[in-house]
Structure 1
């Protein structure tokens, strides 16, 4: 069942500024929480707003935005937010696309981070973003999987435990949204993913295709884009040591320890010890930090903690180091750019929650996000190369793009897993010469692209894991991926 709220435009209250705070309280990625009994913590989700599974409807006539909940399984609720572009051009020969933004983590909020930090119409200060991707497409954000952002479950057993379960839930949401809306059905849907979201994107892409083929889902899948995506964890952990040795962040001693733990992870994966591999991965991150003087895993030119936002000792006391590392990194970039306002947690649990109106009173944005990773720890280190292969073999356009300075999803690792593809066009793809990319009148090389049939690879220079924030001027170039898609499938 879909619970929808439609609004014509942002109200005056939405344009109010938010108070400065030190960082997100968002669970982005890459940490393990000890599971404990959270059933009592989840009881609050059964609220008076929902009576017998029926929502109190909140609607307004017309509008450029829609949002709501889909109960993808009994007592499991996914939240979505759709923006219709004011730049939309109606051309029968070139249908206006929809981008479904898939955030990483697992447990990071696309409705919050992807929307207000990266590609949505407003930034965290609620000021217009000149580089919004609405200039090229309608935007659909989903807090995926359940438990992320505004999405929630009413029982801890309903958290997903595999990428495939998350894909099934996301497909259920799309069935509810698209099958009853002929306007949406006219637009090709592009899955654009970041970090762990890449694993969600390729599994969801296949789930979507199967539902389309079975006649259960009325939409056209335009393509899948994988940005700095965690597709093959084994290839990434083997890339860390050599990369950091090459850029002088590790010496031979650090390299030896790093490679030793990578070998241990490889053996654990071969033995099917996936949770143990996740724990060793955490150990490897700690070892690299100790031997590199805490290199930033999202940008090897930085130290973890650079910038005016610093952590207190208590930030490391509860196992949430990776969460705070993510918060610290994004906030340091914001401060460096002269933006010292706009705390995302306060924004999402304040004026945005009031705007949306349908968020249950006792559901806070990010309130369950920490459990999302914990329940997926057995799937976290599993590769999704086979899923990329299957998408390519089915003719789906796949774009891979990666920031040069990333460590966690290093370009060395991406190139390694691409080389393992069994797609029939791989040999011809690898033999192609790269084409340099430029930005406007700047003749300095900003990146490279290699393309063959339905596979494209973008190398983005001077950018790290969050290249949309690191490399602001490349955003319009990146939106160009969608234009390439449109040409490649003749729409």
Structure 2
């Protein structure tokens, strides 16, 4: 082999090595995700009867955000519902998951009414220190909303990185109460990211904290109309609201926060209500009832079995099943997170919601339980009816319709192409727990999903088809009888000149097309064959 040939081969090999090093360096420089976070997958068979995957998104320098994904039992193209945990309250990964819409109940038995039959469910303990999400250290509690949203973006990158088969599934964000503080800026960030702008289709905001001071301007009226306070109590509440609005206007948000969180005590002790749960107004309390932020503990008492303790259940039953370490104390830093959120909580976010409406195609659906005094519906409408966006006139002029399910009035709704508002009856701060029938119907209408063809749905459909066929047969038989009656009348009048045979209206169908009952009076306007105990 000639020396010249060896030199040529050596040069080629050297160039290939340099090219490989160049590609490696480029990958290391451009792969920005790996220097921000990593994904720590958890056990996937600890709760064997349901399909799921769960993980921690470990964000360097911050902590671990927990997410738990339940793919739909239907098909892969179903929408993803992203449930964001809020600032106050009980984590969705516990209460909403096991107490309402997840695939398992508190006894770890399969729930037949779970939303997983129609949607992919993604629960995220959004804030470090809440739920199973852990802080790296005590100094890692965030006070900057932008950093909190960054963490959620990393979490979604982590989720899709291990669930890429759901890349094309429509994404809807579901936020109850003060989770709206995270849902709105997260939606904005997703719209700005070309990797996610096509995924995000809608945002559901339930009893949202968007303009809390303005909402409270109607609280005195609301409570007086329900006879919980008298005129003096209403005047005291309105003075409280005016003071709160003044603090917000002067951007003294921390003091406004402190006053806002004393609302329940003020109403009961100084406005004369004595024992009102402002989160679920019809609940009967005693003077000595234990109360927390806005009466949220009431859901713990009403939804969770008496033998279930949140921390014990999540730490001793769920954590081992998922392979989570024993040193993870569930929801341990909630009070610290609330304290850190004080400067942000009372700041209005109406303008950010208007930005989404004006600059995207995302569908915004706001819904309110009519038994929530904190986010009382008349107060919420004070800012909803005055939103500044190009479709507002169309929204306010659209018809307010009745939400009828199984012949029961479950609420009302006003819909436009981009903005919807739902009045949910007999519901407080968590409509999915208080009135799941109405809330599920709202989700179905907005996401445009068809009911899953389960055995129950097929049974209802076949019964409806049989009833319609019978109704058609009866209509045809009635028409034949009417024809024979008319023929007999003509025969009688021909045989008896000058006499007229009158057919009694009770045996003759005298209705005209204009008198035909509308379908809405015969079949539920928005009734679902998949709803339990459905009748038509």
Task: Answer whether TM exceeds 0.5 for this pair.
Answer: yes
Contact 2:191 2:197 in 1 (8 A): no
Contact 1:125 1:341 in 2 (8 A): no
> Is residue 156 of structure 2 the alignment partner of residue 174 of structure 1?
yes
> Is residue 319 of structure 2 the alignment partner of residue 348 of structure 1?
no
> Is residue 124 of structure 2 the alignment partner of residue 137 of structure 1?
no
| Aligned residue among 354, 357, 362 for 2:327 | 362
Normalised TM-score (structure 2): 0.72
Deviation at 1:303, TM superposition (A): 3.4
Change (3 A) 1:258 1:485: farther
| Aligned residue among 296, 305, 313 for 1:326 | 296
Q: Which runs of 5+ in 1 are unaligned?
A: 13-62, 316-320, 487-491
Change (3 A) 1:218 1:444: closer
Q: Which has the higher helix share?
A: 2
**Superposed CA RMSD:** 2.4
Deviation at 1:324, TM superposition (A): 9.4
Q: Which has the higher strand share?
A: 1
Contact 2:403 2:413 in 1 (8 A): yes
Provide the rounded CA distance (Å) in 1 between the counterparts of 2:301 and 2:90: 19
Contact 2:87 2:178 in 1 (8 A): yes
Cα deviations by residue, 1:364-417 (Å, 9 ceiling, x for unpaired): 111112211110011111111112111112121111111111111111122112
Q: Where has structure 1 moved over 6 Å in runs of 4 or more?
A: none
SS at match of 1:226: strand
**Larger-Rg structure:** 2
SS at match of 2:410: strand
SS at match of 2:204: strand
**What corresponds to 1:389 in structure 2?**
354
Q: How does 1:230-379 map to 2 (within 5 A)?
A: 230-290=209-269, 291-304=272-285, 321-322=291-292, 325-327=295-297, 329-334=298-303, 339-357=305-323, 359-379=324-344
SS at match of 1:237: helix
Deviation at 1:176, TM superposition (A): 2.2
**What corresponds to 1:79 in structure 2?**
66
Contact 2:172 2:204 in 1 (8 A): yes
SS at match of 2:345: coil
Q: Which has the higher contact order (CA 8 A, sep 6+)?
A: 1
Provide the rounded CA distance (Å) in 1 between the counterparts of 2:286 and 2:356: 39
**What corresponds to 1:457 in structure 2?**
421
Cα deviations by residue, 1:177-211 (Å, 9 ceiling, x for unpaired): 2246431211111101111112211111112222x
| Aligned residue among 443, 448, 454 for 2:412 | 448
SS at match of 1:7: coil
SS at match of 1:168: helix
Deviation at 1:169, TM superposition (A): 1.1
**What corresponds to 1:127 in structure 2?**
109
Q: Which runs of 5+ in 2 are unaligned?
A: 1-37, 451-536
Count of residues in correspondence between the two structures: 411
**What corresponds to 1:405 in structure 2?**
371
Contact 1:80 1:142 in 2 (8 A): yes
Provide the rounded CA distance (Å) in 1 between the counterparts of 2:180 and 2:262: 23
Deviation at 1:345, TM superposition (A): 2.4
Provide the rounded CA distance (Å) in 2 between the counterparts of 1:218 and 1:417: 27
Provide the rounded CA distance (Å) in 2 between the counterparts of 1:389 and 1:131: 35
Change (3 A) 1:468 1:435: same
Q: How does 1:464-483 map to 2 (within 5 A)?
A: 464-483=428-447
